[in-house]
Amino acid sequence: MTWCFLRKLEPDHKLLGERLSANGISLDLYFGLYDNIIREGQAKKLLRHVDRARVHTLRSGHFLLTAANMLLILKEGKISLPDRHSRRDEGS
Asked whether residue 43 is assigned to any structural domain, the reply reads yes
Higher local confidence (pLDDT), 19 or 78:
19
Whether residue 78 has pLDDT greater than 70? no
Asked whether residue 85 is assigned to any structural domain, the reply reads no
Asked whether residue 21 is assigned to any structural domain, the reply reads yes
Whether residue 59 has pLDDT greater than 80? yes
Asked whether residue 6 is assigned to any structural domain, the reply reads no
Helix (H) or strand (E) holding 6: helix 2-6
Tell me which residue range forms the domain holding 57.
11-79
pLDDT in tens, 17-28: 999 999 998 888
Per the structure, the count of domains in the chain is 1
Is the separation of the CB atoms in 64 and 38 below 8 Å? no
Helix (H) or strand (E) holding 18: helix 13-22
Q: How many CA atoms lie within 13 A of 80 on its CB side?
A: 4
Asked whether residue 3 is assigned to any structural domain, the reply reads no
Asked whether residue 27 is assigned to any structural domain, the reply reads yes
Asked whether residue 87 is assigned to any structural domain, the reply reads no
